[in-house]
Structure 1
Amino acid sequence: MTGQKQNPHPYLSGNFAPIKRTRTLTRCSGTGHIPRELAGGQYVRNGGNPTTNVNQGRDLHWFDGDGMLTGVLFKRGKEGGIIEPEFVNQYVLTDIYLNAKDDGNLKRPLLPSIATLLSAPLVTIVVGVFRSLILICLSRLPGSKREVKRISVANTGVVYHDGRALATCESGPPIRFHLPGLETIGWYNGRKAENEGILDDKGGFGGNGLLAFMREWTTGHPHVDPVTKELISFHAVFVKPFVHYSIVPSTRYPAKASDPGPRFDIPVPGVKSPKMMHDFGVAAHHTVIIDLPLSLDPMNGVRGKTIISYDPTERSRYGVFPRYEPHKIQWFETNPCVVFHTANCWETGLVIPEAETCVHLLVCRLTSASIVYSAGALTPPLLKPVPPEYLEEEQCRLYYYSFPLVNTESGEAPMIRNQWALSAIPFEFPTVSPSHAMSSARYIYGCSTGGTSYSAALGKGAKIAYLAKMDATTLIDQGITHPPQQIKGCVDTRGVDEVMQSTDENDPVKLFQMPKGWFAQEPRFVPRANPATEDDGWLLTYVFDESQLDDKGECRDDAVSELWIIDAINMRDIVARIRLPQRVPYGLHSAWFSEDEIAEQKPFDAVRRERSTAEVDMQSPLSIMRDTIEKWIG
């Protein structure tokens, strides 16, 4: 844990390595034609960028690291019709970041790595947690740059709701930042953010009481309804009922007469133990909670398991309930799997009296938890024997479920009607046209590695060699007309090479192949102002040319990335390439913020900032004691 490893960690080397420089809005150059619809908007991506990075031999996971926002603003030029792209990147100034910044005593991050929770013996985890608790307590003493009240690093997603741009992570509430400069404003509780004036005492995420700090932990992927503008989220915790649920309306959207306002911490019944939950499904009228055999339970150590543990002999469960009535949840069970990201969710049968209501869900389904270990450069542990009916080849595919709801008074057990993959190519990091989310969107965009398994590629660092476009409507119709094998079946069985050979303009699977040595990141779909079709728009993604690596596989100091704008209809044309002033490490999730959203941000009083050395009392006895203990425990 404390020594340097001979070989660099794959997630601390190459273009995964953190960068040290941040920039305010900086003019960029480019080639091609930037679509006028992008004028005034901004593309922003979140991801982990460890600031405490001295001990590179420590446990490390791709999902660790302090949140860093990286954006390109499509600024309207002074001369008519000209768009001037500007690059900006800033750390999310969380409590963890502000406390550790420039603290030479800390040789590794304050929090234990996810890799430690996946692989270390109980005594190591206990020591790591105890160290974190000591450092959090020390943060309250003089000499600390920031008291640590919340442990989130806010490094996962970005979302816009009710005049606020928010960065997210499972271990805390969202934190607000300001567009386009990406300055951090403060933690958001569902009612207000810090530095927006006096917070009321009505409570928000987490409520009040001893366990409020835990119940405010908000999923990395809250969803915003494109029609009602409500923000829907859940909160996974370590104590019963294990999952809570929140709905936050927009104050700028006309409320229904019966709308009671925000609903916080509604218990979701039926989850039997703490789980690692990253995403969920949200349709216009229903929500789907995903309860998988992937646990995140401190009590696992007592049972001889790691804190994060996967049991391939347990069932996966999907809980479907009306948006405002979690107590009416219906549970559907099936074979074990792992799902980190949902692509879309919608209903059928709602407008026809007496018709069957069916909830449909598209997810990126993995057949094991190997991706969790691969993203930490770990070898998955030997698991208990898997029943033959659960055995599947290693894969991560775009997968379809249909959940016909039953009349609970009839005593009929809910059963999944359809469950199969749409395509055999590896598929992750999904995105849809924002206006078509929570309805039957036809097109799903995402990433592929080009191999047979997304998880295997992650062990060497996730390298996105293809962007994919799936005609989900066509593939689902084909699957219903000619049903593949339930659970293990697949509608389109072609691999990447076969899809690339296709010349059919109406092929339901299309791939954009990166040039050799170039790799992309999660794309974001941006529609044309008046789209002729659902896919009439562009994909935006950061890309990197790995010929900029030296003979040891490390990035040269002058390495840079680009932002590519790709035609989302034909998945061939690069409309514009914007050369950035520095590289953008491979990261996680992105979002597009329109010119109107940037203009309509809520006012605030101040932003968070780093305290200078002159502002910190380093001479008091308590400060000296804090400094001494920090040096001792590293």
Structure 2
Amino acid sequence: MSTPGRRKPTTPGHPYLAGNFAPITKSWSPTPVTWTGDIPAELLGGMYVRNGGNPVTNSDLGREAHWFDGDGMLSGVWFERSSGDANKAVPHFVNQYILTDVYLAAVENSTLQTPILPSIATLVNPLSRLLVILWRILRTALIVILTHCSRTHTAIKRISVANTSILFHDGRALATCESGPPIRVTLPNLETVGWFDGSKAEGERSADTSEMSTPDSKATFGGTGLLSWMKEWTTGHPKVDQKSGEMVLFHCSFAPPYVHYSLIPTQDNTATRESKQRQIMSAPVPGCSGGKLMHDFGVSKDHSVILDLPLSLTPLNLAKNNPVVLYEPKKPSRFGVFPRYNPAAVRWFEAAGCCIFHTANTWDEYDLEGRMAAVNLLACRMTSTSVVFSAGNIVPPPHPDHKTREKSRRMSFFAKYDNEPEFMDPEKYSSDETSPLLSQDDSEGSSSVRPQIPMSHDDEEQCRLYYYRFAMTPGAANTITHQFALSGIPFEFPTVSPLTDMTNAKYIYGCSTTDESFGAALGKATKIDLIIKMDVKALLAQAQRSPPASVTGCVDDRSIDQIMASTDLEDPIKTFKLPPNHFGQEPRFIPRQSGSPGSNLAEDDGYLVLYVFNEDQLNKAGECRDDAQSELWIVDAKTMCDVVCKIQLPTRVPYGLHGNWFSEEHIRRQREVQTLRTVQEPRPSTRGSWLRTKLINSLG
């Protein structure tokens, strides 16, 4: 165990530095842990890992901070096979910081009070003064320059904190973030290898890439030229085709053509689908309208979908007296659809302005004669960007369609609220304000009642699982034939079975909340107490029978309460409700193994794994006790009722971002590593290094 984090024992006012959002200060090498229930055979030898920000420089708790900030920390549970019985598992917990350039520089300069990189909250706050923003950017630039001077251990060459997601491709586990390339880590120890440039990772033997089958095998993401560093910026959500083994990703920057596209084939001979084995490295995608906040995209078996939304991210906004991040919902959302191997053939489709951070699934549609007909996209569509601001404890700018309500207050993404009527969620309403429908709340034997309020179609604050169909008939106009929500309930952090990803999957899983929306509130924070399972095919069939209104329509407009109260075994929406005061994180689906050759399992035969925290472990000030612990829950994805196993962890896992499941085969097939990144011991002080340290520390 190590303790690189630093934190004063005071109560912060920022909701994303408090409670189980607060960073932890210890890392753990693989440590055996206890469990209750039965560990499914499918988990033997495999590992679940989740990424998220955990700021190592954390002395100033009054600073500006954002949930998307923070040094990347991986938290995993490895189900090692028992040495005494290979059919049994011994779970191990492990968590480690990702040793990025920024992290290593922060550890080396341990007297810094605030993180090296400017907070996203500073950049997106409409009230941030221009001089403050420029100073924060200049401070970062000065620290970067100083790390290149004298005999420093760590020169900051890339500013990524690698805190968003983690995936497996071609023998490498890769952690990702938009501000840099992926970085490789090892499984199961979660040690850092080095940056992946599209050809190889630092720390690997050079021979590992000598058999690449294309003449462009040594090409890298950034390439050459003055802006090559910008083209290294890679989406936080690369997609890996489980059959071909190809990894598809894009790079978004501030300079034209704004978006580049890469496709990295695999040398893995276990890929079951024949791949063209064609490498595409940083090919421009023509037609993008500017520098945008592009967090995700869609990938089907034969097509990719770029999201050019009215959410800009560019320093040029400052010249127009606008914040760096600017949402303009009156402008259209644009979707660039193109064949997987030909981004130059992009076709652009326009829809009503919205914000999308995560896509759920993308699939191709062919007619009876095998001709291309359409590309379908499921995404978590938001009608405001309030989460960008609430995650930084910032008052969001008013939505253009905002209508003032008396005694209104902003709401948070998955937040808890008082039950006073004037504070009710605007996504929910009562058809008769004088006589609301009531439902009994039986939790913990309470006899109290709470309003059962149906969902409204208010377009100001929504985040719903949404369906788009892009007509792709050759020569036809670029038309979106379908665009509507599948359900009126909040839905985010989607996941799908890896066996049906990029195809017409039946089931999508995701996160929701029992009684709130995805809006914004000061002093509150994102919390998940409900896991949702949606039968997409059933809902789309229902839409075929009774088409909802375009754009604003909704196939199933029931409230959370009504869905939870349903006893219909064929209900297309099922829920898993966490116990009172328990909150979860993004789930991942693990398919169940077939019992015998030729037997067919249903698509939802499998398990959901997710971290869960009991907030009874908070003190009166809302802070976690020193001995607070999280658990990893394994839930039956078919029934959405049974918790088949709970893994007790030695520490808590802060509420974070995205995770993934790595099979025993993934761990076994990792490429050979020659060197690992490490935190170096301080070198003997010299006059030059002393002066450099003084200068860095003077920057706070």
Among 562, 587, 604, which residue is 1:523 paired with?
587
1:501-543 CA distances to partner (integer Å, 9 max, x unpaired)?
Answer: 0111111001100000000000000001116100000000000
Partner Cα distance (1:179, 1:501) in 2: 42
Partner Cα distance (1:255, 1:539) in 2: 25
User: What are the equivalent positions in structure 2 for 1:377-526 lying under 5 Å apart?
Assistant: 377-382=393-398, 392-408=459-475, 412-456=476-520, 460-526=524-590
When structure 1 is superposed on structure 2, of 161-170 and 99-108 the one drifting more is: 99-108
TM-score normalized with structure 2 length: 0.86
User: What are the equivalent positions in structure 2 for 1:207-286 lying under 5 Å apart?
Assistant: 207-253=223-269, 259=276, 261-286=278-303
Letter matched to residue 39 of structure 2: I
CA contact (8 A) 2:384 2:399 kept: no
1:531-587 CA distances to partner (integer Å, 9 max, x unpaired)?
Answer: 610000000000000000001000000000000000000100000011000100000
Shift of 1:117: 0.6
CA contact (8 A) 2:396 2:520 kept: no
CA contact (8 A) 1:378 1:459 kept: no
Partner Cα distance (2:259, 2:530) in 1: 36
Secondary structure of 1:399's counterpart equals strand
Distance 1:384 1:258, change over 3 A: closer
Among 36, 45, 50, which residue is 1:40 paired with?
45
Secondary structure of 1:462's counterpart equals coil
2:379 matches 1:310: no
- Extract unaligned runs of 5+ from structure 2: 1-7, 211-216, 404-456, 595-599
CA contact (8 A) 1:31 1:578 kept: yes
1:16-43 CA distances to partner (integer Å, 9 max, x unpaired)?
Answer: 0000000000011010001011100000
Shift of 1:457: 7.1
Alignment-derived partner of residue 587 in structure 1: 656
Secondary structure of 1:401's counterpart equals strand
When structure 1 is superposed on structure 2, of 526-535 and 271-280 the one drifting more is: 526-535
User: What are the equivalent positions in structure 2 for 1:539-550 lying under 5 Å apart?
Assistant: 539-550=608-619
Distance 1:205 1:547, change over 3 A: same
User: What are the equivalent positions in structure 2 for 1:66-465 lying under 5 Å apart?
Assistant: 66-80=71-85, 81-101=87-107, 103-119=109-125, 120-142=128-150, 144-198=152-206, 202-253=218-269, 259=276, 261-349=278-366, 352-353=369-370, 355=371, 357-382=373-398, 392-408=459-475, 412-456=476-520, 460-465=524-529
Shift of 1:631: 2.3
Partner Cα distance (2:650, 2:522) in 1: 27
Partner Cα distance (1:393, 1:298) in 2: 27
CA contact (8 A) 2:389 2:520 kept: no
Letter matched to residue 403 of structure 1: F
Secondary structure of 1:55's counterpart equals coil
2:690 matches 1:624: yes
Partner Cα distance (1:257, 1:399) in 2: 32
CA contact (8 A) 1:206 1:265 kept: yes
The two structures, once aligned, show a CA RMSD in angstroms of 2.1
- Extract unaligned runs of 5+ from structure 1: none
2:27 matches 1:13: no
Alignment-derived partner of residue 628 in structure 2: 559
Secondary structure of 1:474's counterpart equals helix
Shift of 1:455: 3.0
1:275-302 CA distances to partner (integer Å, 9 max, x unpaired)?
Answer: 0000000000011000100000111000
2:54 matches 1:49: yes
CA contact (8 A) 2:102 2:160 kept: yes
Secondary structure of 1:417's counterpart equals strand
Distance 1:5 1:314, change over 3 A: farther
CA contact (8 A) 1:18 1:49 kept: yes
Partner Cα distance (2:168, 2:255) in 1: 30
Partner Cα distance (2:353, 2:367) in 1: 30
Shift of 1:326: 1.2
CA contact (8 A) 2:11 2:18 kept: no
CA contact (8 A) 2:244 2:275 kept: no
Letter matched to residue 608 of structure 2: L
CA contact (8 A) 1:280 1:289 kept: yes
Partner Cα distance (1:232, 1:111) in 2: 28
Shift of 1:466: 0.3
TM-score normalized with structure 1 length: 0.95
Shift of 1:460: 1.5
Distance 1:299 1:535, change over 3 A: same
Partner Cα distance (1:474, 1:121) in 2: 50
Shift of 1:449: 1.9
CA contact (8 A) 2:265 2:277 kept: no
Partner Cα distance (1:352, 1:486) in 2: 29
CA contact (8 A) 1:526 1:592 kept: yes
Letter matched to residue 554 of structure 1: E
Shift of 1:251: 1.1
Partner Cα distance (2:379, 2:487) in 1: 12
1:324-353 CA distances to partner (integer Å, 9 max, x unpaired)?
Answer: 111111111111110000000001116724
Partner Cα distance (1:21, 1:4) in 2: 15
Distance 1:514 1:261, change over 3 A: same
Partner Cα distance (1:602, 1:351) in 2: 43
CA contact (8 A) 2:395 2:522 kept: no
Partner Cα distance (1:138, 1:231) in 2: 36
CA contact (8 A) 2:515 2:560 kept: yes
Letter matched to residue 318 of structure 1: F
Partner Cα distance (2:272, 2:344) in 1: 23
CA contact (8 A) 1:343 1:363 kept: yes
Letter matched to residue 503 of structure 1: T
Distance 1:4 1:392, change over 3 A: farther
Aligned-pair identity (%): 50
Partner Cα distance (1:421, 1:483) in 2: 11
Letter matched to residue 339 of structure 1: I
When structure 1 is superposed on structure 2, of 525-534 and 162-171 the one drifting more is: 525-534
Letter matched to residue 484 of structure 1: P
Shift of 1:210: 1.6
Partner Cα distance (1:617, 1:533) in 2: 63
Distance 1:406 1:257, change over 3 A: closer
Secondary structure of 2:519's counterpart equals helix
Distance 1:449 1:257, change over 3 A: closer
Shift of 1:382: 3.4
1:361-384 CA distances to partner (integer Å, 9 max, x unpaired)?
Answer: 000010111111111111111355
Secondary structure of 2:493's counterpart equals strand
Shift of 1:206: 1.2
Shift of 1:144: 3.0
Partner Cα distance (1:118, 1:228) in 2: 39
Letter matched to residue 471 of structure 2: P
